[in-house]
């Protein structure tokens, strides 16, 4: 039995559900790329930084899923190399003025708080 074939770049990707966090498996399905590819892309694209919690588990948010889909389109759809896609992302994100909403700032602060809480729990357990 053959595994299901992921959608090609021209195919429709599934709609992103309205939820706060997605596991790496869910992100993989939503973006039609394998989990190991997502982990590799995290090393190659500094913009892709999911929240990490207990046991170094990754939790992606909606903007992470959208970024992954954009990276996927650059690499698979437009034929960019990793280096070229990285440059394209930097130009796109840095070249145009970015509007930052209060909600975006609040989400970034929440990510930092979660990371700090997890770090403190780890320290408390060691004592």
Does residue 14 register a pLDDT over 80? yes
Strand partners, 52: 58
Residues 57-103 have pLDDT tens digits of 999 999 999 999 999 999 999 999 999 999 988 887 765 545 557 77
Long-range contacts of 39-44 (CB under 8 A, 24+ apart): 41/68, 41/71, 44/82, 44/86
What global pTM score does this model have? 0.66
Find where tokens 């690499």 sit: 75
CATH number for the segment(s) 24-98: 1.10.1660.10
> Could you tell me the two tokens for 122?
């780890």
């Amino acid at each position: 039995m053959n595994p299901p074939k992921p959608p090609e770049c021209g195919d429709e990707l599934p709609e992103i559900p309205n939820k706060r966090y997605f596991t790496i498996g869910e992100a993989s399905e939503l973006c039609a790329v394998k989990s190991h590819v997502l982990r590799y892309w995290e090393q190659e694209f500094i913009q892709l930084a999911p929240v990490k919690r207990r046991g170094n588990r990754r939790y992606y948010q909606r903007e992470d899923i959208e970024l992954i889909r954009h990276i996927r389109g650059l690499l698979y759809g437009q034929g960019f190399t990793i280096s070229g896609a990285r440059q394209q992302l930097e130009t796109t994100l840095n070249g145009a003025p970015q509007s930052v909403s209060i909600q975006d700032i609040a989400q970034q602060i929440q990510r930092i708080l979660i990371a700090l809480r997890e770090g403190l729990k780890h320290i408390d357990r060691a004592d």
